[in-house]
Amino acid sequence: VGSHLCPDTLAAIEQLKKDGKEFEFIDILNSHEELKVYLALRDKDPLYDGIRGTERMGIPAFIKDCGCVTLDIAEI
């Protein structure tokens, strides 16, 4: 989950490709519905406790096959 406008997201995409990882990219700025889903996650998930109330968006975020979310690409 990220944005094509975010340099960190673009770097993560390149790293995942380089590592040969299969992934689906969800661009939260491409779809109003995807943005709403992401904001609901960010507003409630304890993972984002340190991000809420700052100017950071908390992307890229990675949703693993088990459904849990991480902000650390090394956990993918």
User: What is the model's pLDDT at position 42?
Assistant: 95
Predicted confidence band of residue 33 (pLDDT cuts 50, 70, 90): very high
Predicted confidence band of residue 36 (pLDDT cuts 50, 70, 90): very high
User: What is the model's pLDDT at position 62?
Assistant: 98
User: What is the model's pLDDT at position 19?
Assistant: 97
Average pLDDT (15-44) is 96
User: What is the model's pLDDT at position 24?
Assistant: 96
Burial class (CB in 10 A: 0-12, 13-18, 19+), 16: middle
User: What is the model's pLDDT at position 49?
Assistant: 96
Domain parsing of the chain, residue ranges: 7-75
